[in-house]
Amino acid sequence: MSAGGGVPGLDAATRELRRGLMRLGQRYDARGWLFGTCGNLSGRDGDRITITASGRHKGELGEDDFVTVDLGGALVAGPPGGRPSAETSIHLALYEAVATARVIVHVHTVASSLVRGEAPVDAALQHAAGVVGELRFEGLEMVKGWDLWSPEARPVMPVFENHADVPAIARDVGRYYAAAPREVPALLIAGHGLTAWGASLFEANRHLEVAEFLCQVALANARR
């Protein structure tokens, strides 16, 4: 963990990105969305990805608690001994498949870890992309936070199968988002929490907050 000083040699944009991710880490930790060293936060600048280093507490991040990787996942820069987050491959798959993604945030909330959703409508998609469930939202005003303004909106959030082979999950995620445009800027991995993205720190955070609220609604409905 950083003692609070800046990292020499960082360009202004990278420093601003890291500080923005640090603020989000503090916010999510205060809400109880990140325990221990779980979760990860990243941002894209051209062909470089800044992502939280493995084993860092996200509520106590400093500027030196990040690494930089290229779009293939190779380490470009980081603190001594710093390694990319174990889920870097999922971030890279989303950056490749979703052109508007510039910031990605992943948290482990109680609701998003427990909710499972309904069986996927498309069985072929389930087989091809590891989608084991879907959360379907209808008649909920909060979907406007995803810029879905039509009264007929029927947004669907996918739930991907969870297993130890994280690169395989990343391949499933990549196939799903490459297959067709998806209107919901968030996904779940079963038992493993919530990931959301956006074109900016503000937008990614908004999308995450909306997704978490809707996960809480879905979980409450499932328990009725």
Q: What distance in Å separates the CA atoms of residue 61 and residue 56, rounded to the nearest whole number?
A: 7
Q: What distance in Å separates the CA atoms of residue 34 and residue 26, rounded to the nearest whole number?
A: 9
Q: What distance in Å separates the CA atoms of residue 197 and residue 184, rounded to the nearest whole number?
A: 10
Over residues 115-167, the pLDDT tens digits come to 999 988 887 777 779 999 999 998 899 999 999 988 788 899 999 999 999 99
128: CB partners within 8 A, 6+ apart? 175, 179
Please check whether the domain covering 1-86 is classified as CATH 3.40.225.10. Answer: yes
Burial of 116 (0-12, 13-18, 19+ CB in 10 A): middle
Q: What distance in Å separates the CA atoms of residue 191 and residue 188, rounded to the nearest whole number?
A: 8
Q: Where are the domains of the chain?
A: 1-86, 108-224
Instruction: CATH number for 108-224: choose from 3.40.225.10, 3.60.20.10, 3.90.1170.50, 3.40.50.620.
Output: 3.40.225.10
Starting at the edge strand that comes first in sequence, how are the strands of the sheet with 103-107 ordered?
75-77, 66-70, 48-52, 40-45, 103-107, 193-198, 186-189, 156-160, 131-136
> What is the predicted pLDDT for the residue at 3?
42
The DSSP annotation for 119-170 comes to PPS-HHHHHHH-EEEEEE--S-GGGGGGT---TT---EEEEE---S-HHHHH
Fold equal for 1-86 and 108-224: yes
Mean of pLDDT over the chain: 94
Over residues 14-47, the pLDDT tens digits come to 999 999 999 999 999 999 999 999 999 999 999 9
Please give the C-alpha separations between residue 63 and each of 125, 145, 162, in angstroms, as whole numbers.
Answer: 40, 30, 31
Over residues 55-103, the pLDDT tens digits come to 999 999 999 999 999 999 999 999 999 999 999 999 999 999 999 999 9
Angle between helices 12-30 and 201-222 (to 10 degrees): 20
> What is the predicted pLDDT for the residue at 168?
96
Nearest by Cα to 117 from 208, 189, 168? 189
pLDDT confidence tier of residue 5, bands split at 50, 70 and 90: low
Say if residue 6's pLDDT is above 90: no
pLDDT confidence tier of residue 8, bands split at 50, 70 and 90: confident
Say if residue 185's pLDDT is above 60: yes
